[in-house]
Amino acid sequence: MFQLLKPFLLFIISYVFWKVYINSKHGRTNINLPPGSFGWPFIGETLAFLRAGWDGVPERFIQERTEKHGSPLVFKTSLLGDRMAVLCGPAGNKFLFGNENKLVTLWWPASVRKLFERCLITVRGDEAKLMRKMMLSYLGPDAFVNHYAATMDALTRRHIQLHWRGKEEVNVYQTVKVYAFELACRLFMSLEDPNHITKLGSLFNIFLKGMVELPIDIPGTRFYKSKRAAAAIRTELMTIIKTRRVELQEGKASSSQDLLSHFLCSPNENNKYLSEMEIANNILLLLFAGHDTSTVSITLVMKKLSEHPDIYEKVLREQLEISKEIEDGGLLKWEDIQKMKYTWNVVSEVMRLNPPVLGAFREALVDFEYAGYIIPKGWKLYWSAAWTHKDEANFEDVTRFDPSRFEGVGPTPYTYVPFGGGTRMCLGKEFSRMEVLAFLHNIVTIFKWDLLIPDEKIVYEPMATPASGLPVRLNPHRV
Ligand code: HEM
């Protein structure tokens, strides 16, 4: 009998210990914490959080808890082994975006910190400010006026020529993933060799799988494999960095040719250069941050355009107008991208309904009060684009696909936050805008397409992806 009950008893005992541990940490049991539950020992409410994403409704995790605890602004939980306060809706977003380095600071789960090592998302305070500023001078809006549009257009055309033209059927997600990775490798490091890019890409896919896992570094776990893949990518990147340093010294490479040269030649405001390992880690970060996000945006826009032929026609009309202005054999310019207003409204509405990044984390630097509750120092915080975008309070007829929401002044501040906000806002916003628009310009002016799986389910793992990768049948326009 005892043998039968043993697992159950062990579970109860560990649960009680967990609760005592949670309540006693910091030695404070009587402070006014937000309502909510820390869930199960160790895993907390992580499974419910992940399951909502697997079921294609990531907002459900927050909706259920705000209703259950009767607290629409904030509730407590425990995710990925950490106690956490979830700040809900525009008020929470405004608070977290506006208090970076004052009350809160950027935080990522242990798996992410261990995989990326020292780079922009793992440094804090003034060091993060200096690193970000240096990176923004290459990736920020000003850098885009003169760079990129033509190169992105040329690379997009080549990709479509190789991977789309002449094909009857294509798996959009898989194919666009190749595109986004090649584009990033080319623009960040001038990599051209397809074999080299494919090798890096395969390592990258293993690396990505360990991102949202418990950091258990023993053979067989996804995290273990991911860590080894990250080490192999770093080794490759270090070789590329050292070769480039020599090429720069010998005058065989230019200081403005790509992000890598920029990192090697541009010091920060304190005249300090990044170490070679910091450069490798930051390139790893940018390859990660930039390739699945743009891939899912393009994939989901293509899904919506096929489901809404009237909207496809409007996008096509806008893009054909732009094509007419481009001289024969010419490439897209920055000004052309600026004219793609309707197409960008469509992309924005897709990102509202399915934000590529569901939300992000912060850590409390001090005890502070929020909505009448105390958030203790050291607690983690979470803001959610998924919930803010799907709350009826922020968007009328919230589930309707309607790009016109973005006309005129657009949504109320802090209700639409696919790129985050404040001083930690996405560093690649301009880059991804140009990449997504350059791709759409080329694809809609060449093809229309039919979905091979109508109503294909979207799952979040953790990024929004059609369950089978969106297979489509291509119908080239008759010329
Ligand atoms: C549709 C595409 C994209 C979306 C929706 C997106 C969204 C986001 C979000 C929500 C954050 C977190 C902000 C926070 O912590 O509050 C972020 C951070 C970041 N993103 Fe993006 N991103 C996209 C594309 C890109 C691209 C193309 C790049 C690189 C070229 C990039 C680089 C970064 C970096 C480096 C950070 C960290 C910034 C920091 O911590 O200071 N992202 N992004």
In a domain, 59, yes or no: yes
Is the CB of 259 inside a 6 Å radius of any atom of ligand 1? no
- 101 and 59 within one domain: yes
How many Å lie between the centroid of ligand 1 and the Cα of residue 110? 18
How many domains does the chain divide into?
2
Is the CB of 48 inside a 6 Å radius of any atom of ligand 1? no
Helix, strand, coil abundance in the chain, percent, nearest 5: 55, 10, 35
Is the CB of 428 inside a 6 Å radius of any atom of ligand 1? yes
HSE value, Cβ hemisphere, 13 Å, CA-based, for 426? 20
The H helix count followed by the E strand count for the chain is 18, 12
> Hey, whose CA ends up nearest to atom 18 of ligand 1?
426
| pLDDT of res. 329 | 80
- 20 and 36 within one domain: no
Assess contact for 433 and 329: CB atoms under 8 A. no
| Helices 172-189 & 149-163 angle (0-180, nearest 10) | 140
CA distance 399 to 388: 12
| pLDDT of res. 375 | 97
Count of beta carbons in the 10 Å neighbourhood of residue 120: 21
- Domain CATH for 90: 3.30.43.20
3-class secondary structure, 193:
coil
How many Å lie between the centroid of ligand 1 and the Cα of residue 427? 5
Of the residues 417, 437, 460, which one is the last residue of a structural domain? Answer: 417
In a domain, 61, yes or no: yes
In a domain, 148, yes or no: no
Q: Which residues are CB-neighbours of 364 under 8 A, at least 6 positions away? A: 85, 103, 104, 375, 376, 377, 378, 379, 380, 381
How many Å lie between the centroid of ligand 1 and the Cα of residue 55? 24
Give the long-range contacts of residues 117-126, CB within 8 A, separation 24 or more.
117/277, 117/281, 118/277, 118/278, 118/281, 119/278, 119/281, 119/282, 119/284, 119/285, 120/282, 120/285, 120/427, 121/285, 125/101
- 111 and 39 within one domain: yes
In a domain, 173, yes or no: no
Is the CB of 120 inside a 6 Å radius of any atom of ligand 1? yes
In a domain, 305, yes or no: no
Q: What is the mean pLDDT of each run of 10 residues along the chain (479 residues)?
A: 47 48 54 95 91 94 97 95 94 98 95 93 94 90 76 95 97 96 95 92 90 86 94 97 97 93 92 95 94 95 98 98 90 94 98 96 98 97 98 97 97 98 95 96 98 95 92 93
In a domain, 365, yes or no: yes
Cα–Cα nearest to 442, from 322, 338, 341? 322
In a domain, 47, yes or no: yes
- Most ligand 1 atoms within 8 A of CB, residue of 426, 429, 436 to mutate: 426
| pLDDT of res. 22 | 52
Domain assignment of residue 51, given as a range: 32-117+358-417
CA distance 439 to 478: 20
- 69 and 13 within one domain: no
- 101 and 60 within one domain: yes
| pLDDT of res. 470 | 98
| pLDDT of res. 268 | 87
> Hey, whose CA ends up nearest to atom 3 of ligand 1?
293
Of the residues 417, 432, 454, which one is the last residue of a structural domain? Answer: 417
- 43 and 19 within one domain: no
- For residue 274, the 8-state DSSP code is P
Assess contact for 234 and 276: CB atoms under 8 A. no
Transcribe 63-109 into DSSP letters.
HHHHHHHT-SSEEEEEETTEEEEEEPHHHHHHHHHHTBTTTEEEE--
How many Å lie between the centroid of ligand 1 and the Cα of residue 292? 11
Assess contact for 384 and 88: CB atoms under 8 A. yes
- 90 and 70 within one domain: yes
**Residue located via tokens 């896992």:** 213
Is the CB of 417 inside a 6 Å radius of any atom of ligand 1? no
239-248 burial, b at 16+ Cβ within 10 Å, e below that, comes to ebbeebbebb
Is the CB of 294 inside a 6 Å radius of any atom of ligand 1? yes
| pLDDT of res. 29 | 59
In a domain, 268, yes or no: no
